[in-house]
Amino acid sequence: MTVDYRAWDDAWYDVELHMQGEVLTVEFCNLEPPVRERFTSSMFRDDADVELFRKKFRRNSSQLQDGECHRVREGMMVCGSLSSTEGDLRFYDAKVLEVKSL
C-alpha cells in the first residue's frame, strides 16, 4: 500500500507500508540510498501517541494538471514542492494566499 507520510523534516513523502508480525515498516519510495523506519506497539505510551502517529499518514495527494490551474483559489490548501538543492525535492502543505492570472 502506498500512502503519503509526514517525516522528520515535516515534508510529505510517498511511502510503502509493510507489516511483519508486530513491526510496521515505513519504506520511503524513490530515495537513494533506501530509507526505512520501523515502529512497534511498544513505542507508543498511550492512545494520544497512537493518534499523533496516525496523523502522519494520508492518502496520496493528486497532482494538479496544467489544464486544471484555473481551479486554484485563494485559501485553497495545496501540496507544493520545494527544491533547496539539486536532487532534493520535498513536498509541503501550503495555503494559497493569492492567485494571479497571466
Nearest to 2 by CA among 62, 49, 64: 62
- Helix (H) or strand (E) segment spanning residue 79: strand 77-85
pLDDT attached to residue 65: 80
pLDDT attached to residue 3: 94
C-alpha cell of residue 82: 520545494
pLDDT attached to residue 25: 97
Residue type, 11: A
Greatest Cα pair distance in the chain: 55
C-alpha cell of residue 93: 502543505
pLDDT attached to residue 6: 94
pLDDT attached to residue 66: 82
* DSSP class per residue in 19-56: EETTEEEEEETT-SS--EEEEEGGG--SHHHHHHHHTT
Written as tens digits, the pLDDT of the chain (102 aa) is 789 999 998 889 999 999 999 999 999 998 888 999 999 999 999 999 999 999 999 988 777 788 888 888 999 888 888 888 887 888 888 889 999 887
For the domain made up of 1-60, give the CATH fold: SH3 type barrels. (2.30.30)
* Alpha-carbon 12 to chain mean position: 2
pLDDT attached to residue 86: 81
Domain with CATH 2.30.30 in the chain: 1-60
pLDDT attached to residue 62: 73
